A = this chain, B = another copy of it.
Amino acid sequence: MNPVRKKFSRRVRVAVGGGVLAVVAVAGFGAVTANASAPAAPPTAAAAPAAASVPDRATTTSTHLTVDAATKAAQAALDAAEKEKQRVSVAVVDRNGNTIVTLRGDGAGPQSYESAERKAYTAVSWNAPTSELAGRLQQTPTLKDIPGTLFLAGAVPVTAGNAPIAGIGVAGAPSGVLDEKFAQAGADAVAR
């Protein structure tokens, strides 16, 4: 069972027994993301513990934008900005807080890149456009002190079945209203 394969089957779990076997399994796993040209070292009997394969009841599943969809969204946001001759940066941030795609537009201001990321992070964290979230600061001003956030118009969430799975953030236009319009264009591109 590969956690990121799109065809998803809950039947594939294989209980892995001891340390030696596990390492063999790793070595035989074609697409493992290890980064080393060396072949896996032969395990010593005592020291190499096994990778534990867990049963279904120990796992949960989460939905993410594919990188293809995220790239499409980011590109659409950038295109929308360029159509209005605005120089912006775009970021797509996943539900787990990781940035998936960034595009630093030609001539975008230096502050736009990280602004776009933080706006996207904020939109996915609270599942709302940052233009709306900025309004919540009137009642709860310290929300904006949460690390990684930016309560400034310019980002919208992307949902799958009502739940947030990503945020799209844009920064660099003369106003956040404009930024958010471009972000929305990005979101629309993957909603179709």
Which A residues form the contact surface with B (CB < 8 A)?
1-6, 8, 12-16, 19, 23, 25-26, 29-38, 40-41, 43, 46-55, 57-69, 71, 75, 78, 85-88, 94-115, 118, 121-122, 124-129, 131-140, 142-154, 156-165, 171-177, 179-181, 183-184, 187-188, 190-192
Contact = CB atoms under 8 A, between A and B. Distances in A.
20 contacts: A3-B64, A3-B163, A26-B128, A33-B107, A35-B172, A35-B176, A37-B177, A51-B157, A52-B190, A54-B65, A60-B66, A62-B62, A66-B106, A97-B110, A98-B113, A99-B102, A101-B101, A140-B176, A144-B145, A145-B151
B35 A162 contact: no
- This chain: copies in complex: 8
Contacts of A62: 3-4, 61-62, 64, 107
Nearest to A8: B61
Contacts of A132: 23, 26, 40-41, 43, 48
A104 B96 CA distance: 11
